[in-house]
Amino acid sequence: MKQRPIKTIALALTLFIATSATAKEARYPEFGNGRIEQTLVKAQEYMVAAANPYATEAGMRILEQGGSAIDAAIAVQMVLTLVEPESSGIGGGAFALHWDNENKKLSSFDGREKAPMAADEKLFQENGKNMNWWEALAGGRAVGVPGVLAMLEKVHKQYGKLPWATLFEDAVQLSEAGFEISPKLAASIARGTNPALGRYGDAWEYFFPDGKPIAKGAMRKNPALAMTFRRIALLGSKAFYKGEIALDIVDTVQSAEDNPGMLTAEDMASYEAIERPPVCAPYKAYKLCGMGPPTSGGMTVIQMLKLLEDKNLSALKPLSAEAVHLFAQAGKLAYADRGKYMADADFVDVPVEGLIDGEYLKQRAALITDKDMGSASAGTPPNADQNWKTATSPEQPSTTHFSIVDKDGNGFSMTSSIEMAFGSTLMTHGFLLNNQLTDFSFSESTEDGKLIANRVQPGKRPRSSMSPFMVFDKDDKLVMLIGSPGGSRIINYVAKTMLGVLEWNMDIQTAIDMPHFVNRNGSTDLEDNTAISQLKPQLEALGHKVSVRDLNSGLHGIVITPDGLEGGADPRRVGRVMGK
Ligand code: GLU
């Protein structure tokens, strides 16, 4: 495998900065200060809200042809693999909720990456010590078996209307004819968001043509990916999990010179996406439904909202110190439970029902006072095994979320990730491989010898924060689809956007635009360059440790009102909503 000297990259970056100002800008609106103006989109029949205009357009074309929500989702994900490779792709994993409107059936699907069977709790340890996270992320070590394709194929078999191959047409065409590099992709390459990008040959050649980071507005083709799509379109996901592509994935992982991984052809061939029970709880006149383990997203978002259910939030201004204080306290309590109890339930006993139990959460909510609680401890939910010790993993922001409603009222809410921006930075057959295994705890046990629920185990799926959500009204009518990237802050972004719509009567675009406030059982983070940052002194007076910082979500949601569909896209990314 080719290695590139660091000096070459530094020189390339200098050259890029000198030339990028002249790059043309056609497809994407100005991404000034990292924000673009988005306006609420309304439609009557169907809608797609996704993180890139090419992907939204591809989804719309499928819906126009009479495709179902899952059909459109496959077209969207394939195009995102091409145009937003920093965030998601067929080399990664995903979680999704599907709403079958005719049969009033909600299903949830787990396409999370799996640890190789040869991996164990020592995966991220060297000489008896935890590896440095930044050294672990690149190369083969953290690559899990990708789950996106197996999951989409599984849902398509149940709910697809158009032929599988049709759903790849846009992605093939764009890969062959070329697509315009988005300002977000160009900035992610040029800023070195993942410092290892360019270390390995294939990604170096693709993202640094002529030795320079590819500029926004440049046209890029990806013939290798077009060929991959053609093969999967023809043969289904087995063209990916078995045969040449699978063997090349394995070889790329195992031969990453400085940090090889353990993935084998058997790991690839035996991967299965899993349909799991969704996690639902009542909230006032609504029912909130999210994804269960191995993501912590569903349980933790539900905990946050239910901890606030009796706090009369609608009487408070959304950007007031009182509202942010309450939200932050709920975040502290929920993340304390998340750190202790949540992991892959196929391996550890996760007390899912207990964690979202109404009575338990009432007791926990009573811990919230008008002063900051400091660091929250995990509670004792019903039926919880008390042997676990709290642990965190520093999930990094990349990832993508899209929401789709088709003309029959079916919905699909999917969050998809290759973990760190550009994942492991290993590329083969035109796509990047994830580094999702870094979402495991690097330690297996704590100093007093108690095991950590989210430790690495063979064949296990790392705990996630991804939170695709759907909200239903009291008649079981789908009223909202939402989700976001953002590492472990995802949970806060999704909870806050739901409160915007459900408590503060905002339309979905206004709720997404609302400045972010976040607490993960530590500092209260306020979004920089927004009005919310002015609350710092007031919150400090209540005892909060406050950090004003960039908070890069990627919320893409749809609300179904009595008058039709309303969609919102995150101004912090370059997405688009379209509907008819
Ligand atoms: N790897 C993270 C997770 O699965 C997501 C990373 C992100 O959103 O940025 O929860």
Same domain, yes or no, for 129 and 224?
Answer: yes
Q: Residues 6 or more apart from 190 whose CB is under 8 A from it?
A: 13, 16, 17, 20, 213, 215
Q: How many domains does the chain have?
A: 2
Contacts of 336 (CB under 8 A, 6+ apart): 375, 376, 377, 378, 379, 390, 521
- The answer to whether residue 259 sits within a structural domain is yes
Ligand 1 centre distance from Cα of residue 466 (Å):
6
Tokens read off for 271? 């991967």
360 and 411 both lie in a single domain: no
User: Could you tell me if 114 and 207 lie in one domain?
Assistant: yes
Active-site hit among 56, 228, 399, 438:
399
How does DSSP classify residue 162?
A: S
Q: 483 and 420: one domain? A: no
Same-domain pairing of 188 and 326: no
- Which ranges of the chain have pLDDT less than 50? 1-25, 395
What is the CA(568)–ligand 1 centre distance, in A? 21
- What residues does ligand 1 touch, defined as CB less than 6 Å away? 395-399, 417, 419, 436, 439, 464-466, 485-487, 490
Residues 344 and 476 in one domain: yes
Bridge-based pairing state of the strands 431-432 and 524-527? unpaired
Same domain, residue pair 292 and 258: no
Say whether both 113 and 247 belong to one domain: yes
Shortest-distance atom of ligand 1 to CA 462: 4
Do 280 and 268 belong together in one domain? no
Domain that holds residue 566: 276-373+465-579
Q: Which atom of ligand 1 is nearest to the CA of 436?
A: 1
List, as one string, the DSSP characters of 103-146.
TTEEEEEEE--B--TT--TTTTEETTEEPPHHHHHSSSTTPPBP
Answer whether residue 89 is part of any domain. Answer: yes
Q: What is the mean pLDDT of the chain?
A: 92
What residues contact residue 500 under an 8 Å CB cut-off, 6+ apart? 318, 506, 510, 511, 512, 514
User: Residue 34: helix, strand or coil by DSSP?
Assistant: helix
Tell me: the pLDDT tens digits for 118-150? Answer: 999 999 999 989 999 888 999 999 999 999 999
Whether residue 205 sits in one domain with residue 351 = no
Residues 180 and 110 in one domain: yes
List the structure tokens of 513.
Answer: 């635009």
Is 533 buried (19+), middle (13-18) or exposed (0-12) by CB count in 10 A? middle
Collapsed DSSP state (helix, strand, coil) of residue 412: strand
Q: Does 353 lie in the same domain as 498? A: yes
What's the CATH code of the domain at 549?
3.60.20.40
Final residue in a domain of this structure, among 423, 439, 455: 439
Whether 33 maps to a domain, the answer reads no
Q: Which two tokens stand for residue 68?
A: 């179902």
